[in-house]
Structure 1
Amino acid sequence: MFKKPVNNWKTSSPLRTSDRKKLRLKVASSFSIDTAEADVLVPEGILSVKFKSHLNESGVAYLAPDGDHDPLWFILGKGTDAQQEDALIIPTVYTLWKNPKLLPFLSTPKAVIPILIGGADLMIPGVVHCSQSLNEGQLVSIRKYERIDVDGTLTPMLSPPLAVGRMAIGSDQLQDSGQEKGKAVYILHTWKDHLWELGSKGDVPMSEPIKIEGGEDINSEDSEEKEQKQEGDAHVSVETIAAAAIQSDSDSTKTSTYTPDEVSQLLRMSLVQAISQSLGPLPASAFPIPATIFYTNHILPNRPNYPVLILPFSSAPSDDLSSTDLPGPDPSSITIKTSSHKSLTAFLKSAEKSGLISTKAPQKHSAQTDTLVTAVNASHPDVQVHRSFATIGEAEAKAVRKTLREEEEKKQQAAASLELDIRELWKPHLNSVELFEAMSESPSNLYNLQEVRSLLSSYFATHQLVNSHDQAYINLDRVLTMCVVPKPKLKSSKNKSSSAKAESEPQAEVEFMKRDDVIKAVLDTMQSWYQVRNAGDDVLPKKGKLSPIQVVMKIRQGRKVSTLITGFEPFNLVAEDLSEDLRKLCAGATSITPIPGKPANSGMEVLVQGKQSKAVLDYLLGKGVPKKWIEVHDVIKGKK
């Protein structure tokens, strides 16, 4: 919800004493705490501030009165008044750090927390433990699951709450061992998101971790079987592999870590991966590269995302457990500091000694103090035999693409909800009346294109008019001929006898036509109607043919460029509102006049100074006008 900056914070103001009391009572009743606890969580002088999220969703945040104004509570949606009975008041992580037991919780492995902060929801495979009797839609907190050395024993522990969300399913479904896909929690707010950054941004409380007591372990059964399926597949999702790597509390509490020499080996493999994938194809002009940039932009992103699948632990226990049966370290912990080299210079010298790269030391008395990487050896034997693996950089890029895709889908859904419902309709008229009566349909009704097609197709089939030699053609009977075949026109009809002759003149002899041509000819004989309405509105259809809005750029009054908009009235747009909105949007003068050369009451023309077709197009789309109903013409260049 707050993965992007909030775009419209209003001015904060202290709550009135009466409103603060109502908020305190609501907090006490909603979270089953006494008045004294609620008094601490809703302090005197608490501030309220309205906002709109990056998805244009309204909300209210309640801020602490002193210091950095830590956000304490927030409400989302139209019911943003805490006094409303149906308003859902949500605690922030700042509030949950004061009272961690305010909400029931779910736990997830350490590797999943950055994904949640990035804007993703918590998936079912990423749940390790959950409270009992949770209902769908219930507010919950998310805690980090990890094993900590307590008196020489690795004990499962929980961090303070790091996220707040709503249950996507109930805990009974979550505990179903057959339920392995889907979302567990819709995340509303996390540690380090833009709402959290509004406050003091303090460290996570360093209080003693809480031992897991009660509740249910999720994904603890069959974890070994899951890992066997994942072994060898470097592109398993982070959520799945993180959840599958966690053993249950009854399993062995042994774990394994990489030695400094193994970290050095993984860093060297990352360098080989970088040379193979990105550095090798670079031209010579791309070098030299400063050592810190070389390390940050090329080595770190190419670290293996699942190192345990690339380099098994040499420090595995001597019993029946293998190294891949134990939780591996966070791949981001594979750094120079945890390696045997300890410094980037030493690592680069080692890589140069093995022939992978060439370096150059900075000159004395030079402003450049960083070692330079002057070349890489793409023909090195290790590079030639290297097999690519899934990297941290690829995983991060995939997460970013997924986030962008989800945002784009939300934007499209939001735009679709605002888009006008435009329907083209037709009514039987003149020659088509007899045809619709023959189809047992009322000639006084309005029909859309799909209905006309369906009725004609049924008529063709019922009267066996489909051509037996080519089904794309329709044989014309008398009724169709009278409707779709035009009568011949005489050159002169000066007297009654010639007029009578024209009426008695037979129509042109046409035995068959293409199916699409028949449908088009029938539509041409019918009256055009249209209906334009917002979602849920009940608007009567109007007679006439609906034409697209015309946005024309042309030169007027000598050399002045102007943008003219006409034909907008059928789309529920008012000239005065359109002119005023475009004046502010384009920061230029606008005017309204009757359309030149057209009869009175045929519509108005809005003029905007300057070449503003892009701004006008975006404005009309924002008003719900579909793009197919907007035509832009550039008369200045003589192009459409």
Structure 2
Amino acid sequence: MFTKAFRVKSNTVIKGSDRRKLKADVSAAFPSLSADHLNELVPNKEELNVVKIYAHKGDAVTLYVLHRNPMFFQLEKQLYPTVYTLWRYPDLLPAFTTWPPVVQKLTGGADLMLPGVVVSSTGLPEVNQGDSCAVNVVSNRAPVAVGTAAMSSREMRTSGMKGKGVNVLHTYMDQLWAFGDKTTPPVLPVTDPSVQAEAEMDRQESGEEGTEISVQESEGQKNCGTTAVESSLQNLQDLSLREGEKEEDTEEVQGEQEDSRSPQEQMDSLLFQCFLHALKSKVKKSELPLLTGTFLRKHMASCCPKGKNLDIKKSSYKKLSKFLQSMQKEHNLVRVKELTKGVDSIVEVDWKNPELCSFCVPEDWEPPEECGEDRESCEEVYKPPEITLLYGVTSRLEPLFQDVQKKKGAVLQASEVRSIITEYVKKNELVHDTNKSYVNINPVLCDCLLEKSEYQELEVLKWDDLFSRTLSRMQSCHQLLFPGQAPVVRKGQVEPIDITVASRGSNKKVTIIKNLEVFGIEPTVVADTLQRLVQASSVLHDVPGAKERQLVQIQGNQVHHVGKLLLEQYQIPRKYIQGLDKAPKAGKKK
């Protein structure tokens, strides 16, 4: 958020009433602070300034500045401490530990990914999605970044430590840090033995490779950790310059030593070339916003030189989202936005970007022979998201899930719910004495599952009735897992693709298709495909009341063709398509 310069709107001394409100807000947000620590952060007598700024992306942020240093920043009514505050109170937020080289990526605007997290012997800090958290390095407990948890600790563990861990908002050496006195982090010793061992190993490996991210052991063995972290953080300012020099040297000898690059570096270069090629000659302004998956399949893949294959998993980025994030933050070529939850789209392209303007299509590049006239045939097969039905614990059912520590809002699969309820019945010895297919109703089950009119009537329930009542009283949720992306959990039932037939002037029929974006399908592609398929005109309209969604309208009753396209090419399960029965009957006019 603060990687680029921000604009200051106002800078005023805080009023007495606002000072008291700030102290109350800080106390509520960080209850671990003692009264003395609270008075140090929000003193009654000393001058405290309120600075209102606009970040480079337009976000309105409020800073609270003490002794020239910003101590807190407020974004969307949420209060966050800065690194200056965390250096004084390092345990104020749960902290994730990473390697010193990762800090350079964070200061460049990247988020902390779970593969870069060092797990201590005590495990991950316990956080929920959206909770404030800090980031430190293995050789120093002093935090170097502040952000929010991208998922809960439980989800991090179940995902196998893959995906995004922390959405980084503020880092050491960013513009917010530069707004203060620009001091360096203090050296706070690491107490966890496992993390100390990781730090020692990192120092040894760095020493063997000759890098300066973790410094070699100095004369004072006791200050080894101190020297390492000071060197790693101070050298961040020079690291980008050194890497830039290395890249220039690589470019000079690229023609002669092309094969000397690692396979990963070669794939990174090929990705960047195909990316620029696709923007230069394939993407049109009228296609924006463009789904990122479609951009890769339809445009970048067709720009790959003959004899080579794009495989983003063999690059240093590993995922398309991370690659596009780099193209946005480091090269300012595109702007990517999550128009529908869990589905990213390219919404803007900087057509005047120097790198894009200077790019020339390779002379030896040829369109893939197998594409011919039908470009759709050379695209990768669309893979629909994996949909998992989930159930959320409600306040009424919370007593049933107390034993397994599932509070209100916890999301479970049906099989997990059955296991938990079965265990609860057995633990409380509620199985009927003579008929094992029945369960005795205790006061908890009575309050959770029975209607008031049934309190005096029902004493037992069948197992199936017990499970069905439990599931029916839980919050309906679902999980969408798109290929190459983190799973997305949404409340409510899955919103199906809706196909309707409407009449326009002179009783002409049109077919309308909605909710394609929910399944990661781009309306533009469907409209173009149907237009070629049925030789009828199609248009796109914004969906009233649904932000950033579009519907496809095509002339005539084309339900049969739409259904065939969605079922066969996109492989959408029939139960998630609504309106297939509106197809014209055989022998009747459409």
| TM-score, normalization by structure 2 | 0.40
The structure number with the bigger radius of gyration is 1
